[in-house]
Amino acid sequence: MPFDIAANLPDDPFAAFAAWYAEAEKIDCAFPNAMTLASCSDNRPSARVVLLKSWDEQGFVFFTNYQSRKGEDLAANPRASLLFYWDALFRQVRIEGKVETINREESRAYFDSRPRDSRIGAWASHQSRELESREILDERVEHYRREFEGGEPDLPDYWGGYLLRPLEIEFWHGEYARLHQRRSFSRDSLDVEWKSRLLYP
């Protein structure tokens, strides 16, 4: 039976996301949690791929250096958009909402779960800043390896997680002749009910 986004997609957007995400995890996809994060400050939009690390009905969590380009964007304009695209399923999910930092305890718990080299890399990298040569970065990595030898790298003050609380979640199911199926869930604020509507392709 052909997929019908009006009839076959759950009426709750988080349940709908859970269903599609579970399907993406089952296919041969290296990073089903890869998502494009778009931010904007000073009327200059920017986008990059980051990894979803957790999510629930509060929103979607990712981690980064707060002093990076995206961190500076989100400090100036705490609204952003996420985009998941699963090519093998010919589906995408677009999410827009408000962004806030998560608490340090949650950030520390995730940071401590990362591989040691990734934690050292967080200390070594001035993310998004100009790098004169790769050798300089390699030297910084070696510096922090020596500094943390015999101990565990602590969470840097400038590193942690963000929570995007969604105000709109749109589901896109690809079809022939570009007559794609689209269904949007939106709300004006975080404390009101979702409204659902179909959209032209």
Model pLDDT for residues 40-92, shown as the tens digit of each residue: 999 999 999 999 999 999 999 999 999 999 999 999 999 999 999 999 999 99
Q: How many domains does the chain contain in total?
A: 1
CATH of the domain at 69: 2.30.110.10
With CA atoms as reference, report the closest residue to 57 among 110, 25, 10, 89.
10
- Whole-number pLDDT of residue 92: 98
Residue 20 resides in a domain: yes
- Do 62 and 39 touch, CB atoms closer than 8 A? no
Residue 65 lies in a domain: yes
Q: Give me the active site residues, please.
A: 178
Would residue 3 count as lying in a domain?
Answer: no
Q: Is residue 31 part of a domain?
A: yes
5 in a structural domain: no
Q: What is the CA radius of gyration of the chain?
A: 19
Residue 172: domain span: 13-113+157-199
DSSP letter string, 172-189: EE--GGG--EEEEEE-SS
Work out the number of other CB atoms within 10 angstroms of the CB of residue 41: 15
- The angle formed by the CA atoms of residues 154, 114 and 45, to the nearest 5 degrees, is 95
The answer to whether position 119 is within a domain reads: no
Tell me the whole-structure pTM to 2 decimals. Answer: 0.94
Confidence of residue 1 (pLDDT cuts 50, 70, 90): low
The answer to the question of residue 184 being in a domain is yes
The 10 Å Cβ neighbour count of residue 19 is: 14
**Looking at residue 30, what is its pLDDT?**
86
The answer to the question of residue 141 being in a domain is no
